[in-house]
């Protein structure tokens, strides 16, 4: 175990507590950047997919993990980001501008939608957002003149200052581009966490009543969290649509939103690492399952297998490891650091009783 001898407050304010951690993440970054040199095109494509899922996952994590609001409708905002970005690109807006604007637009619309939704607690918010996701699907069909409806749209070419980025012809560039977005989003996420904004999110999550007593404007904070979360999800959606090459209303089906929720839970609610670990599971589970089913000689795909296995995994996680993959890692690390002094009950779940807030 390393001890920090803190000599000034900046140690706690900085992104990394010491040079060891800084070096570790720098090494990880170098590794991530060099990945295209090590992997073939198929796996770079898969890694890009992981990173894209993590962007959307970070968006939902900010809302669910940090602010404690569950959304089953983030697919709607992913779709919004994607269509906004592509429509602007088709109108001749340069990619970078269109992409960032798509995030802003999604964030603003998400924030506006949040204002009525804010009055809703837990279950009601979940249902309202689920309805939103289903409505988005139908709306895309109804708005066919702009969205292409069921026939969908083809993603335009991404051109950054003359550099053409294409999934098929230049997969490495696509990967690096997504990596840059991931870094930007992660950096912003960390900044939020270490600033008053992030603390007010956590305050709303843990106790609305005392957040209010500390002067936190609950409605504003929730709107902000929802808007930011939607903006990030929108960026993820834009990347996902462009990566897919062609997309329609089905691409951003409400099941995507539910998959996103499952992803952040499996990864570890409330941890940045959790979004990434969850994305790895989401992206690689289908591959793993297809390898398994073909090795069992069935040769054909079993419909619903992916979601079934994913659901089963999720149940196991909530029952046995509610802190997700990252929580498990933390426990292993703590155990190793304290060896042999770790106690079994150190991470024991506290017994809790539910008390209703309703009248009748």
Partner 1 sequence: MSLLELKDVTLKFGGLTAVNALNLSVKEGEVFALVGPNGAGKSTVFNLISRFYTPASGSIRFDGQDLLARPSHAVPALGVARTFQNIELFHQATVLQNLLVGRHRHRSTSALENIFFTPRVRAEERAHREAVEEVIDFLDLQPYRDQRIAGLPYGIRKVVELGRALATKPRLLLLDEPASGLSVEETQNMRWWIDDIRRQMGITVVMVEHDMGLVARVCDRVVALDGGKKIAEGTPAQVQSDPAVIAAYLGTSAVSKTASASGERQ
Partner 2 sequence: MDVVQLLVSGLANGCVYGLVALGFVLIYKATEAVNFAQGDLMMLGAFVTLGLVNPQYLGMPFWLALPLALLIMALIGYLIDATILRAVFGESQTAIIILTIALGFVIRFVVGVIWGHDPQSLHSPLAGGDLRFGGVVLSIADLAVIITTLLLTFFLFQFFQRTRIGLAMQAASQNQMAAYYMGIPVKRVQGLVWALAGVVAAVAGVLYASKGAIDPNAGFIGIKAFAAAVIGGFGSLPGALFGGIIVGVIEPFAARYLPPGYSQIAPYALLILVLVFRPHGLFAQVRTKKV
Q: Tell me which residues touch partner 2 (CB under 8 A).
A: 64, 68, 70, 72, 116-117, 119-124, 126-128, 130-132, 134-135, 138-139, 141-142, 208-209, 258, 261-262, 265, 302-305, 307-312, 314-315, 318-319, 322, 351-360
**Which of partner 1, partner 2, none is residue 246 near (CB under 5 to 8 Å by kind)?**
none
Residue of 92, 116, 215, 340 that binds partner 1 (CB under 8 A): 215
Smallest gap from Cβ 293 to partner 2, in A, equals 12
Rounded Cα distance, 325 and 259, in Å:
16
Q: CB of 32: closest distance to partner 1 in angstroms?
A: 22
Q: Which three-class secondary structure state does DSSP give residue 278?
A: helix
Residues 116-175 that bind partner 1 (CB under 8 A): none
Site string for partner 1, 288-317 (x = CB under 8 A): ------------------------------
Cα gap 158→94, rounded to integer Å: 9
Q: Which stretch binds partner 1 (CB under 8 A): 79-87, 167-175, 206-214, 234-242?
A: 206-214
Q: How far apart are CA 245 and CA 196, in angstroms?
A: 40
Helices (H), 17-94: 19-38, 41-61, 74-90
Per CB under 8 A, the segment of 27-35, 132-140, 209-217, 278-286 that binds partner 1 is 209-217
Q: What is the CA radius of gyration of the chain?
A: 21
CA atoms within 13 A on the CB side of 241: 36
Q: Bridge partners of 164?
A: 159
Instruction: Count CA atoms closer than 13 A to 309's CA, side-chain side.
Output: 15
Judged by beta carbon distances under 5 to 8 A according to partner kind, the member of partner 2, partner 1, none in contact with residue 169 is none
Q: How far is the CB of 313 from partner 2 (least distance, A)?
A: 8
Site stretch for partner 1 (CB under 8 A), options 88-96, 194-202, 242-250, 315-323: 194-202
Q: Any idea how long the chain is?
A: 360
For residue 263, give the nearest of 22, 7, 58 by alpha carbon. 58
């Amino acid at each position: 175990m390393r001890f920090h001898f803190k000599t000034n407050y900046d140690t706690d304010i900085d992104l990394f507590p010491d040079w060891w951690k800084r070096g570790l993440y720098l090494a990880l970054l170098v590794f991530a950047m060099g990945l295209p040199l090590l992997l073939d095109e198929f796996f770079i494509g898969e890694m890009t997919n992981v990173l894209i899922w993590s962007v959307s996952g970070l968006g939902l994590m900010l809302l669910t993990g940090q602010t404690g609001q569950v959304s089953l409708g983030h697919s709607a905002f992913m779709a919004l980001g994607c269509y906004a970005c592509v429509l602007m690109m088709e109108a001749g807006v340069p990619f970078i501008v269109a992409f960032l604007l798509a995030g802003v637009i999604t964030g603003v619309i998400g924030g506006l939608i949040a204002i009525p939704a804010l009055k809703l607690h837990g279950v009601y918010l979940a249902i309202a957002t689920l309805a939103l996701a289903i409505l988005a699907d139908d709306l895309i069909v109804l708005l066919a003149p702009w969205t292409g409806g069921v026939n969908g749209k083809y993603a335009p070419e991404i051109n950054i200052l003359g550099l053409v980025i294409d999934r098929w012809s230049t997969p490495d560039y696509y990967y690096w581009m997504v990596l840059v977005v991931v870094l930007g989003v992660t950096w912003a996420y960390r900044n939020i966490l270490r600033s008053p904004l992030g603390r007010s999110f956590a305050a709303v999550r843990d106790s609305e009543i005392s957040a209010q007593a500390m002067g936190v404007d609950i409605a504003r904070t929730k709107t902000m969290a929802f808007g930011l979360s939607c903006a990030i999800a929108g960026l993820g959606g834009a990347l996902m649509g462009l990566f897919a090459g062609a997309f329609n209303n089905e691409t951003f089906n409400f099941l995507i939103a539910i998959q996103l929720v499952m992803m952040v839970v499996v990864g570890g609610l409330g941890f940045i690492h959790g979004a990434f670990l969850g994305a790895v599971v989401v992206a690689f589970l289908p591959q793993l399952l297809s390898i398994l089913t073909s090795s069992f000689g069935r040769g054909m795909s079993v419909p619903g297998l992916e979601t079934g296995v994913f659901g089963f995994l999720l149940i196991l996680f909530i029952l046995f490891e509610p802190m997700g993959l990252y929580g498990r890692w933390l426990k292993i690390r703590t155990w190793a650091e304290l060896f042999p002094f770790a106690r079994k009950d150190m991470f024991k779940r506290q017994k809790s009783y539910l008390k209703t807030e309703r009248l009748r």
